[in-house]
Amino acid sequence: MTHNIPSFINLAIKKKVLQFGEFTTKAGRKSPYFFNLGNFNDGESIRELGKYYAQIIVNSNIEFDMIFGPAYKGIPLVSSIAIALMEHNINIPYSFNRKEIKDHGEGGIIIGAPVRGRVLIIDDVISAGTSINEAVSIIDGNDGSACGIIVAIDRQEKGAGDISAIQDVSNKFNIPTLSIITLDNIIEYLASQNTFKNELKFIKEYRKEYGVS
């Protein structure tokens, strides 16, 4: 499977992962689109999602020893990606964190493989960077070091300053951050269709106001 951007966007629209309308972002902006990875919520779609992530990882040539998914959305992501990577003959450990520390049974906040070596962080989207900051803190607190971040979408939107949240996180931790799609990819896809003229207009206006280069 190649990294086919239009097919991923088509799947995201079909599963209502990518929706159009009026939505309020965490930053309080009125966005003409919304991306909710949680709507990849059945066996077929989560399998396909894992394949798209796996292909980006393979293409990236980032050297890593394991993958880590911040709770909660990162949990099904790392599971599906680990399975998808086996199609590339890559058998990689994965783990994720709890939101609360467990004081009985196995205890701790890590579920899955021990966190060690070069750790590739998997998430859905970087908004404020909070979950990534927590993930890096957990990884640093164990025997690992973050070596990269893979997300589903780069909104290419200004954060607190003139750079995006993704650029900010990459700069802060000095690691690459890659995405399956970008807002520019969505714009290009909508422009190639005849049924999204209004959506395209609103998204272009939003990109002009809040976008980064």
Which two three-digit tokens encode residue 112? Answer: 């899955």
In degrees and rounded to multiples of 5, residue 157 shows phi and psi of -120, 140
Report pLDDT digits (tens) over 142-158.
999 999 999 999 999 98
Please give the model's pTM, rounded to 2 decimal places: 0.92
pLDDT given at position 22: 96
Residue 106 reports pLDDT greater than 60: no
Which two three-digit tokens encode residue 67? Answer: 């993958």
Q: Which of 16, 102, 172, 201 is catalytic?
A: 102
Burial classification of residue 91, based on how many CB atoms lie within 10 Å of its CB (0-12 exposed, 13-18 middle, 19 or more buried): exposed
Q: State what percent of residues in the chain have pLDDT above 90.
A: 78
Q: Where are the domains of the chain?
A: 5-210
Report pLDDT digits (tens) over 164-181.
889 999 999 999 999 999
CB 96 within 8 A of CB 74: yes
Which two three-digit tokens encode residue 88? Answer: 């590339």
Can 102 be counted among the known catalytic residues?
Answer: yes
Q: How confident is the model at residue 1 (pLDDT cuts 50, 70, 90)?
A: very low
Q: How confident is the model at residue 211 (pLDDT cuts 50, 70, 90)?
A: very high
Q: Which of 26, 99, 104, 208 is catalytic?
A: 104
Can 104 be counted among the known catalytic residues?
Answer: yes
What is the CATH number assigned to the segment(s) 5-210? 3.40.50.2020
Residue 204 reports pLDDT greater than 90: yes
Rounded to 10 deg, the angle between the 5-14 and 43-60 helix axes is 150
CB 109 within 8 A of CB 102: yes
Which two three-digit tokens encode residue 71? Answer: 């709770």
